[in-house]
Structure 1
Amino acid sequence: VLHSLHYFYTGSSGLTTFPEFVAVGMVDGVQMLHYDSVSKRAVAKQDWMERYTRDHPEVLERDNGNLQGAQQTFKAGVGILKQRFNQTGGAHMVQNMYGCEWDDEDGAIDGYDQYGYDGEDFLAWNMKTMTWVAPVPQAFSTKQRWNQDRADLQYNKNYQTKECVDWLKKYLAYGKSTLQRTERPRVSLLQRSPSSPVVCHATGFYPDRVVVFWRRDGQELHEQVDPGEVLPNHDGTFQVSVDLDLKAVPQEDWGRYECVVQLRGIEDISTPLDPALIRTNEGKSGLTIPIIIGVLVLLLAAAAIVGVILYKKRNASDKGHKPVASSDTSSENTEGQNPAPEAQPLTT
């Protein structure tokens, strides 16, 4: 099983209803830590994380200090990048996501560290070459400065391949009953109107590594389908939908189609495309789709607040915290037991 530890930082300006800095930590896609510039406190978001911080109170205090420093650095970073991009007013965002992945079967490890500005890639860490890569000219000066600091380059590699994984294993041990459970999905077929696609909606499953697809005569379909992204539910489980366009398919052929849901640890769930099984906007099932759409809107809004889906679509993990430092030097806090090492700023 592939496990992950992610951190997402978002610094912003020009958004009156949005905190100027938000940080979120996630283990296996489940949020376990939250910090924002309004509360100025790191808060455990899972029962197992609360137990961990009670047993190790110094960890949360260290996170608080580092994240408060990151808040100031990201605020300065937004201003600097506005200058580099010749911008004045308006809403702008700097984002950083970093972390690691660990496969508990073969021991494979991967790590990453990426920055974005206003929804576009700005800087990315290349694990193989141990260097920073700048996809835009405005990031060249930062890339050159960071690539000259050999000690910090080595530290980044050590953090992503060892320290981050060590923290991930600690969190997995504390949250074992929650993070390493398996919950069977509930599958429904939904349709807004007779001319709309039929939606195969799976919800309530855990972990998030589910595979949902349509097939015809036993063969997986790659056309006529529109897969959606896996989204979190309020209770820590997940949901996903895959649309099937049936405009060119006569109803007498519907019996050849079925939706298949695969989740490790359970048998495949196969749901035939039977009109009797489809819930629509007509009759007593009429509110089903609007409710789901409302939930998705709320989820997307929440995701926007924490900066999780704004500029990268990678299903990976992250480092134990790496709030940004206030100087141009390499990370000073390199102790292996620190879940929140500092990182370089984007400034100068």
Structure 2
Amino acid sequence: MKKFMLLLLFCHVASPVLHSLKYFYTASSGVPNFPEFVAVGLVDDVPMSHYDSNTQREEPKQDWMEKVKGDDAGYWDRQTQISQADQQTFKVRIDTAKKRFNQTGGVHIVQNMYGCEWDNETGATDGFYQFGYDGEDFLVFDLKTKTWIAPTPQAVITKHKWDGLTGQNEFYFSYFTKECIDWLKKYVDYGRSTLLRTELPSVSLLQKTPSSPVTCHASGFYPNKIMLSWMRDGEEVHEDVDHGEILHNHDGTFQKSVDLHVSSVKAEDWGRYSCVFQLSGVEKDIVTKLDPKVIKTNWGRTEIKRDGAPDSPSEVPTGVVVGVVVGLLVLAICIAGVMIWKKRNNGFQRAKTSDGSDGSASSVEAAPLK
């Protein structure tokens, strides 16, 4: 089975005022004890709405999303109807994709991700609409040309049919460059007390064994527009460094880790290394020196608190920390609907998906945008 990977976010460190609205649809076949269809909406990578085929209801995931009722009393009923229609459409899409790939049984996933981004300082906007099947790109809408890109031969039929729907493609262009942005601005305003806040993390150094990499783990930060890196004499280290993904915490904050392989670092050079956490919009960085005295291990730990003061040593097995991280990842996967997205060296790969029942216009229109 292909590796399940969650696409939770794109990290935009360069722009502290970049906001995003994203929707993730996941339809599955052959996955036991999991809804056959899940739809999740996120604002600035914070889950705001959720629908699945078990509950059959679109529901808010944040208290501030209840404010939408004041502007539109029928909002949640309408979104429920849209998601119910999407559920039926995506069920057919799985069957179509399986036929395209000459497949019968087994586990299969159809994905859809769409949304927009807006920089409230420069006014710049961007949009994306893409589909995937079993973790591989299938179809991507090109906003510049208003045509579809088919990365795999099985999607070429759909590409040609959808390219011919010029009116519909014009609608997509208009939606992603205007209507989606309008909704994004509205949601950001609803949740401004949450979405526009700033929280600094606790930073810890972890090491399983003396020969293991030293992990710099930052948890509890918000927003997720951050940089976490290892520095040597003030210069960023790229060799012997492994970056982890930014993950959600249960309280709405984020966590991230970066490993430094110290096997090639001389003992006398340890003092030249530091883990540096940078949060967009915050001038002061959190700097943690590579010091054996402050490393959490199976035989002891010290935590660097948010004010930079070291805590007193106490024994907390690294396995417990790892278990918490794994548990949070599983929770995030359940919330977002088991998104499969392959990561390449240059970032996340654009998704791909099957068409509708036969790639006709009706199959696209059966899944209206939110």
TM-score by length of 2: 0.84
Does 2:330 correspond to 1:301? yes
Q: Work out whether 1:109 is the aligned partner of 2:125.
A: yes
Partner of 2:8: none
The equivalent residue for 1:336 is none
Match of 2:175 in 1: 159
Distance in 2 (CA, whole Å) between partners of 1:126 and 1:288 is 49
Change (3 A) 1:327 1:113: same
- Match of 1:10, SS? strand
Residue number in structure 2 paired with 1:128: 144
Report if the CA contact (8 A) 1:331-1:342 is conserved: no
SS in 2 for 1:247: helix
State the partner residue of 1:234. Answer: 250
SS in 2 for 1:73: helix
Q: In the alignment, what sits opposite 1:221?
A: 237
Report whether the alignment pairs 1:274 with 2:259. no
Match of 2:316 in 1: 287
Contact 2:243 2:258 in 1 (8 A): yes
SS at match of 1:262: strand
- 1:310 is matched by which residue type in structure 2? I
* Counterpart in the other structure of 2:308: none
Contact 1:124 1:134 in 2 (8 A): yes
Q: Percent same amino acid among aligned pairs?
A: 56
Q: CA 1:56–1:29 in structure 2 vs 1: closer, same or farther (change >3 Å)?
A: same
TM-superposed deviation, 1:279: 1.1
The 10-residue stretch of structure 1 (223-232 or 277-286) with the greater mean CA deviation from structure 2 = 277-286
Q: Which moved more, 1:64-73 or 1:295-304?
A: 295-304
Does residue 1:81 correspond to 2:97, yes or no?
yes
Provide the secondary structure at the position in 1 that maps to 2:47.
Answer: strand
Q: What residue in structure 2 maps to residue 319 of structure 1?
A: none
Q: Which amino acid aligns with 2:97?
A: L
Distance 1:309 1:202 in 2: 24
What residue in structure 2 maps to residue 40 of structure 1? 56
Q: Name the residue aligned to 2:341.
A: 311
2:358 counterpart of 1:329? no
CA distance in 2: counterparts of 1:330 and 1:95, whole angstroms: 15
Query: 1:117-196 residue pairs with structure 2 within 5 A?
Result: 117-196=133-212
The superposition leaves residues 11-65 of structure 1 with CA deviations (integer Å, 9 ceiling, x where unpaired) of 0111121100000000001001000000000110011112323553311111100
Q: Corresponding residue for 2:275?
A: 259
Is the CA contact (8 Å cut-off) linking 1:260 and 1:269 kept in structure 2? Answer: yes
The one-letter code matched in structure 2 to 1:281 is: N
Tell me the distance in 2 between the aligned counterparts of 1:246 and 1:177: 41
Does the 8 Å CA contact 1:14/1:89 hold for their aligned counterparts? yes
Which digits, 9 at most, give the CA deviation of each residue in 1:282-304, with x for residues without a partner? 14744353233223322332343
- Give, in angstroms, the shift of residue 69 of structure 1: 0.2
Please tell me whether residue 19 in structure 1 is matched to residue 35 in structure 2.
yes
The one-character-per-residue Cα deviations of 1:137-176 (angstroms, maximum 9, x if unpaired) are: 1111111111101111111111111011100000000100
Distance 1:257 1:309 in 2: 36
Contact preservation (8 Å) 2:206, 2:214? yes
Provide the aligned C-alpha RMSD in A.
2.2
**For residues 87 and 315 of structure 1, do their structure 2 counterparts lie closer, same or farther at Cα, with a shift above 3 Å needed?**
closer
Gaps in structure 1 of 5+ consecutive residues: 317-323, 334-339, 344-348
Give 3-state SS (helix, strand or coil) of 1:211's partner: strand
Separation in 2 of the partners of 1:192 and 1:271? Answer: 18
Secondary structure (helix, strand or coil) at the match of 2:110 reads strand
Q: 1:315 to 1:169 in 2, by over 3 A?
A: farther
SS in 1 for 2:170: helix
Cα displacement (A) at 1:133: 0.6
Count, aligned residues: 330
Q: Please state how far the C-alpha of 1:274 moved relative to its aligned partner.
A: 1.2
CA distance in 1, matches of 2:37, 2:339: 16
